């Protein structure tokens, strides 16, 4: 629980849960807690194993103290993984195979007795026990001021608990990848994820992270209408209510209670604003975290959406291509025509200068052989290949024009690499973005160092990190 396990160390045991765990823990470090099976059906443990849900809060208990709390991000039954991580109990020959994937872990020490007494439980607590949300709320005061409850952030006024504002890139990506745990019907409506991608677009264009409700109405609602589920009515419920359960988002300037829905008129009058939390916004201003966040949102929630159009609409058009918005046709040296898969976007001719000597150097080192497929394309008098920047030179990627940021590719793989259809994993395997299937290993040359940070950036754009624990 404290350190987590590296998923890559357990690839052999994870099996069918590889994709799910990688989605929940995009940085590859998983916090897991397991329970052994129970033979009985009606006891507290059996009920808890049966009825617990993703999104539930978990309190950990030891020696008459509550010592930590966490939130359930995923539930899996995986005996092989449990055995690999924790071994087998020698006495019973059982293992902790009912596994919770946990996030928002906070450690503390709070005496358990008053809380257990209030819940009519007799200490010491010996088994997994489920407490209904109503009971949890009723006895919240006993924990108030001691720990922040899962998914709740102390408000500025009256909240005695310290804010848990130490969000890292992994936490951010985890929260983005598990929106459906907080936002009702997210998989179907896409309202939460659309609100977030719109908010990231605002950050990129230099606007404030917070916006009043009339801005949401005039700017976000058309996007929800166009790209959200057609059978769900659009309202301010998402930006002003559901999203703020997940640690990414906040609503400020109102004394609302959860059961109140804010009317537009009332919220404008009271000056209520909503937007990304300060910590989330700070992370999303960093290029690598932002590229990963956009790639993750696109691959997790926008599978049925015209992503290029959506990104364009929210001011993130450059993220639909690895080469960036400004690089345009010039990225393809050696011929005049555009190799862009779609010519919908008007690309201005302000491409950054690229160093032709580096282009020639990378082609020469690889003797025009594609680093993905090995093809050397013959022309009448010589051979043909293309130099591809891994992290695009153009805006918004702003990659460097260096040999360590170049690949030698055939035209087909250059198009696929630029349109984010393929990416390179941590072990230099080339994989398809849509399903993670390996199409080969990147061919390397000893004199051609490749900067792994640029590869990681491109992989983030492709949403490729969710596959990197999968072997095929």
In contact, 267 and 239? CB cutoff 8 Å? no
Residue with smaller CB distance to Zn ion, 236 or 410: 410
Q: Report in angstroms how near the CB of residue 371 gets to Zn ion at its nearest.
A: 8
Q: Which stretch binds Zn ion (CB under 5 A): 233-241, 331-339, 369-377, 434-442?
A: 369-377
In contact, 283 and 169? CB cutoff 8 Å? yes
Q: Report in angstroms how near the CB of residue 372 gets to Zn ion at its nearest.
A: 4
Residues ≥6 apart with Cβ < 8 Å to 350: 326
| Alpha-carbon torsion (280, 282, 288, 290), positive or negative | positive
- State the angle between helix axes of 191-204 and 287-301 in degrees (0 to 180), rounded to the nearest 10: 150
Q: Report in angstroms how near the CB of residue 413 gets to Zn ion at its nearest.
A: 4
Residue with smaller CB distance to Zn ion, 345 or 432: 432
Closest-by-Cβ residue to Zn ion is 370
Q: Report in angstroms how near the CB of residue 378 gets to Zn ion at its nearest.
A: 14
Residues ≥6 apart with Cβ < 8 Å to 153: 159, 163, 164, 247, 250, 277
Side-chain-side CA neighbours of 287 within 13 Å: the count stands at: 15
Within 24-43, the residues that bind Zn ion by CB under 5 A are none
Candidate residues 76, 125, 372, 470; the one interacting with Zn ion per rule CB under 5 A: 372
Q: Report in angstroms how near the CB of residue 240 gets to Zn ion at its nearest.
A: 49
Residues ≥6 apart with Cβ < 8 Å to 136: 57
DSSP result, 261-300: PPPHHHHHHHT-EEEE-HHHHHHHTSHHHHHHHHHHHHHH
Candidate residues 142, 370, 403, 420; the one interacting with Zn ion per rule CB under 5 A: 370
Candidate residues 31, 45, 71, 413; the one interacting with Zn ion per rule CB under 5 A: 413
Residue with smaller CB distance to Zn ion, 174 or 413: 413
* Helix (H) or strand (E) run with residue 66 in it: strand 65-77
The structure tokens listed for 153 are: 């952030």
Of 353, 425, 363, the C-alpha closest to 388 is 363
Q: Report in angstroms how near the CB of residue 318 gets to Zn ion at its nearest.
A: 24
Q: Report in angstroms how near the CB of residue 411 gets to Zn ion at its nearest.
A: 8
Tallying the residues shown for the chain, one arrives at 472
Asked if 274 interacts with Zn ion (CB under 5 A), we say no
Residue with smaller CB distance to Zn ion, 47 or 375: 375
Residue with smaller CB distance to Zn ion, 345 or 376: 376
The structure tokens listed for 84 are: 């690999």
Q: Report in angstroms how near the CB of residue 444 gets to Zn ion at its nearest.
A: 15
Residue with smaller CB distance to Zn ion, 130 or 373: 373
The structure tokens listed for 211 are: 């916006």
Q: Report in angstroms how near the CB of residue 376 gets to Zn ion at its nearest.
A: 10
Residue with smaller CB distance to Zn ion, 215 or 375: 375
Q: How many residues interact with Zn ion (rule CB under 5 A)?
A: 6
Residues ≥6 apart with Cβ < 8 Å to 331: 323, 351, 388, 389, 392, 418
Taking CB under 5 A as the rule, which mask of x and - marks residues 54-83 in contact with Zn ion?
------------------------------
Residue with smaller CB distance to Zn ion, 370 or 461: 370
Q: Report in angstroms how near the CB of residue 20 gets to Zn ion at its nearest.
A: 32
Of 284, 292, 223, the C-alpha closest to 460 is 292
Residue with smaller CB distance to Zn ion, 243 or 370: 370
Q: Which stretch binds Zn ion (CB under 5 A): 66-74, 175-183, 221-229, 366-374?
A: 366-374
The region, left, alpha or beta by phi > 0 then psi within -120 to 50, assigned to residue 200 is: alpha
How far apart CA 450 and CA 454 sit, in angstroms, is 8
In contact, 163 and 278? CB cutoff 8 Å? no
Please give the angle made by the CA atoms of 26, 28 and 33, to the nearest 5 degrees: 100
Q: Report in angstroms how near the CB of residue 414 gets to Zn ion at its nearest.
A: 8
Taking CB under 5 A as the rule, which mask of x and - marks residues 373-412 in contact with Zn ion?
x-x----------------------------------x--
Residue with smaller CB distance to Zn ion, 143 or 415: 415
Residue with smaller CB distance to Zn ion, 289 or 370: 370
Binding site for Zn ion (CB under 5 A): 370, 372-373, 375, 410, 413
């Amino acid at each position: 629980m404290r350190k987590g396990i590296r998923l890559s160390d357990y690839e052999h045991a994870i099996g069918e849960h590889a994709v799910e765990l990688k989605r929940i823990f995009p940085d590859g470090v998983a916090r897991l807690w397991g329970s052994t099976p129970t033979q009985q059906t009606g006891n507290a443990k059996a009920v808890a194993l049966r009825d617990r849900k993703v999104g539930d809060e978990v309190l950990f208990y030891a020696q008459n103290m509550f010592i930590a709390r966490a939130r359930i991000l995923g539930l899996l039954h995986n005996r092989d993984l449990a055995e690999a991580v924790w071994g087998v109990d020698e006495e019973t020959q059982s293992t902790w195979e009912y596994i919770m994937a946990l996030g928002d872990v906070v450690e503390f020490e709070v005496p358990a007795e008053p809380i257990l007494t209030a819940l009519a439980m007799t200490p010491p607590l010996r088994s997994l026990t489920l407490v209904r949300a109503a009971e949890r709320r009723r006895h919240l005061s006993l924990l108030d001021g001691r720990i922040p409850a899962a998914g709740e952030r102390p408000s500025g006024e009256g909240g005695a608990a310290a804010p848990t504002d130490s969000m890292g890139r992994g936490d951010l990506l985890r929260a983005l990848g598990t929106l459906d745990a907080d936002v009702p019907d997210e998989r179907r409506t896409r309202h939460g994820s659309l609100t977030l991608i719109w908010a990231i677009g605002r950050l990129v264009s230099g606007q404030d992270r917070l916006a009043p409700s009339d801005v949401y109405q005039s700017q976000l609602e058309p996007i929800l209408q166009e790209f959200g589920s057609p059978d769900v009515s659009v309202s301010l419920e998402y930006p002003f209510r559901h999203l703020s359960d997940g640690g990414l988002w906040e609503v400020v300037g109102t004394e609302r209670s959860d059961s109140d829905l804010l009317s537009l008129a009332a919220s404008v009058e009271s000056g209520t604003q909503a937007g990304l939390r300060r910590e989330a916004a700070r992370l999303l201003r960093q290029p690598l975290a932002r590229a990963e966040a956009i790639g993750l949102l696109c691959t997790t929630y926008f599978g049925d959406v015209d992503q290029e159009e959506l990104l364009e609409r929210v001011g993130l058009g450059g993220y639909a291509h690895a080469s960036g918005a400004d690089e345009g046709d010039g990225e393809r040296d050696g011929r005049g025509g555009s190799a862009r898969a779609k010519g919908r976007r008007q690309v201005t001719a302000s491409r950054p200068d690229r160093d032709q000597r580096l282009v020639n150097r990378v082609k020469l080192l690889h003797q025009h052989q594609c680093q993905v497929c090995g093809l050397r394309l013959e022309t009448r008098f010589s051979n043909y290949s293309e130099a591809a920047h891994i992290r695009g030179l153009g805006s918004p990627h702003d990659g460097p024009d260096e040999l360590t940021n170049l690949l030698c590719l055939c035209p087909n793989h250059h198009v696929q690499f630029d349109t984010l259809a393929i990416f390179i994993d941590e072990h230099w395997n080339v994989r398809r973005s849509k399903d993670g299937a390996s199409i080969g290993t990147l061919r390397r040359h000893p004199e051609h160092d490749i900067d792994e940070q640029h590869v990681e950036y491109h992989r983030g754009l492709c949403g490729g990190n969710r596959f990197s624990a999968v072997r095929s």
